[in-house]
C-alpha cells in the first residue's frame, strides 16, 4: 500500500510539473503575438549584439572599368540570397533583437559617392582613402540590410576601378565575409567556374606526425611529449593573457599609441603590401596559413 501511494503521489507531482509554465521563452509559449511578430526570424546572437557599432570595410580594385549591370546581377544571384544579407534587425515586443526578412533592392546598396573633382584629379588615391576613412564613422541605414558597395569609377595608381564594401560586423567576421566574396566571383577564363584556390599546405611538425607501431616506444613517447609541450605553452599563454589584462602592461613600441585619450580619432590608411614580404613573414613565424600573417601585418601597420 505504501509503495502504491508513493507511485500515485509521484504521478500527481509529475502531472503538476508538466502543467507549470516553462521559464524559457519559446515561440509556441507566447500568447497574443501579432502577425508581424510571428513572421520574425531567429534572434540576433549574443556575439552579434556585442559588435553593434563595428563595421568591416574591404577595399577591392579591378583592372577593368566598372560594369554596373554585371555587378548588380552578380549580387542578386549570390550575395543577396543569403538570409542575413536580406534581413534587417528589429526589436520584438519583449525587447529582443531579431532578424526580419525583407525585400532587397540592390540599387539602394550600390552607392556612387560624389567626390570633389579637383581632389580626384590631383590625387585619386588620397581621395579614395579619405572617403573610405570616413565610412568607419558614419552610421548605416538600419531600414535596409546592413551592407553597402561604394563604387569609384576612376583610375588610381593600383586599379582602374575600385569598390569599398562596408558590412556590419553582425553579418560575419572578416574571414567568413572574404570567403563569401570569393564565392561570389567567377574565373576569368571560364565564367561558369569558381576561381581556383591553392591547396592547403601540409602541416609539419612532431605533433602532426603520429609514429608508426614499428617506430618503437621512444618515438611514441616523443610524440606524446609534443602534446605535453603544446599544453604547457597554451597554459602559459592563457595565464600571460589574463595577467596582462589585470596588472601587467605591454612594453612600449613604435606602434603603440602614447596618448590614450578616448576622443582621439582613428583613421584607416591603405598601404600596398608585397606578397613576397607576406610569405617571408609567414615563413619566419612558421605560420600554417598566410591569413595569420595578414592579421599580424594589419596590427603592425595600424595607425592608432
Quick: pLDDT tens for 80-105.
788 889 899 888 888 888 888 888 89
Q: Which is higher by pLDDT, 213 or 128?
A: 128
169 is catalytic: yes
Neighbours of 279 (CB within 10 A): 13
| Helix or strand holding residue 241 (H, E) | helix 217-246
Residue 202's alpha-carbon distances to 21, 125, 195, 198, 235, in angstroms, are 54, 39, 21, 12, 26
Using alpha carbons only, give the angle 32, 34, 40 rounded to the nearest 5 degrees.
120
Q: Which is higher by pLDDT, 227 or 295?
A: 227
Q: For 208-266, what is each residue's pLDDT tens digit?
A: 677 776 777 787 888 888 888 889 999 998 998 888 888 887 677 766 666 655 556 66
Q: Of 154, 134, 162, whose CA–CA distance to 60 is shortest?
A: 162
CA distance 101 to 178: 23
Percent of the chain whose pLDDT exceeds 70: 69
Q: Of 272, 301, 275, 302, whose CA–CA distance to 290 is shortest?
A: 275
> Residue 9's pLDDT is what?
47
CATH top class, domain 39-184:
alpha beta
Domain residues of the chain, as ranges?
39-184, 216-247+275-303
> Residue 301's pLDDT is what?
47
> Residue 93's pLDDT is what?
83
Which of 152-166, 186-200, 272-286 is the most confident on average?
152-166
Mean pLDDT score of the chain, rounded to an integer?
75
Q: Which is higher by pLDDT, 182 or 85?
A: 85
CA distance 126 to 132: 10
Q: Which three cell numbers stand for residue 5?
A: 501511494
Whether the pLDDT of residue 147 is over 90: the answer is yes
Q: Which of 84, 168, 169, 252 is catalytic?
A: 169
CA distance 100 to 90: 7
Question: Which has the minimum average pLDDT: 31-40, 47-56, 111-120, 187-196?
Answer: 31-40
Q: Which three cell numbers stand for residue 37?
A: 511578430
Using alpha carbons only, give the angle 243, 248, 249 rounded to the nearest 5 degrees.
135
- At 112, the pLDDT band (50, 70, 90 cuts) reads very high
Q: Of 148, 79, 161, 152, whose CA–CA distance to 110 is shortest?
A: 148
Amino acid at each position: 500500500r505504501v509503495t502504491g501511494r508513493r507511485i500515485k503521489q509521484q504521478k500527481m507531482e509529475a502531472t503538476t510539473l508538466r502543467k507549470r509554465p516553462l521559464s524559457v521563452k519559446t515561440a509556441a509559449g507566447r500568447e497574443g503575438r501579432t502577425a508581424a511578430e510571428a513572421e520574425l526570424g531567429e534572434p540576433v546572437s549574443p556575439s552579434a549584439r556585442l559588435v553593434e557599432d563595428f563595421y568591416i570595410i574591404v577595399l577591392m580594385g579591378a583592372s577593368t572599368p566598372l560594369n554596373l549591370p554585371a555587378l548588380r546581377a552578380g549580387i542578386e544571384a549570390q550575395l543577396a540570397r543569403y538570409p542575413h544579407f536580406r534581413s534587417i534587425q528589429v526589436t520584438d515586443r519583449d525587447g529582443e533583437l531579431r532578424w526580419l526578412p525583407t525585400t532587397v533592392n540592390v540599387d539602394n546598396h550600390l552607392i556612387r559617392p560624389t567626390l570633389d573633382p579637383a581632389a580626384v584629379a590631383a590625387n585619386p588615391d588620397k581621395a579614395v582613402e579619405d572617403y573610405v576613412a570616413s565610412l568607419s564613422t558614419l552610421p548605416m541605414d538600419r531600414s535596409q540590410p546592413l551592407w553597402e558597395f561604394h563604387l569609384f569609377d576612376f583610375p588610381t595608381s593600383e586599379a582602374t576601378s575600385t569598390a569599398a564594401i562596408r558590412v556590419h560586423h553582425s553579418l560575419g567576421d572578416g574571414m567568413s565575409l572574404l570567403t563569401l566574396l570569393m564565392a561570389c566571383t567567377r574565373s576569368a577564363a571560364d565564367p561558369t567556374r569558381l576561381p581556383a584556390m591553392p591547396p592547403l599546405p601540409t602541416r609539419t611538425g612532431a605533433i602532426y606526425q603520429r609514429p608508426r607501431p614499428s617506430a618503437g616506444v621512444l618515438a611514441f613517447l616523443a610524440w606524446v611529449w609534443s602534446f605535453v609541450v603544446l599544453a604547457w605553452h597554451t597554459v602559459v599563454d592563457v595565464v600571460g593573457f589574463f595577467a596582462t589584462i589585470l596588472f601587467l602592461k605591454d612594453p612600449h613600441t613604435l606602434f603603440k599609441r602614447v596618448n590614450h585619450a578616448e576622443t582621439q580619432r582613428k583613421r584607416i590608411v591603405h598601404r600596398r603590401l608585397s606578397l613576397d614580404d607576406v610569405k617571408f613573414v609567414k615563413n619566419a613565424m612558421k605560420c600554417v596559413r598566410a591569413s595569420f600573417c595578414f592579421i599580424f601585418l594589419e596590427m603592425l601597420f595600424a595607425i592608432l
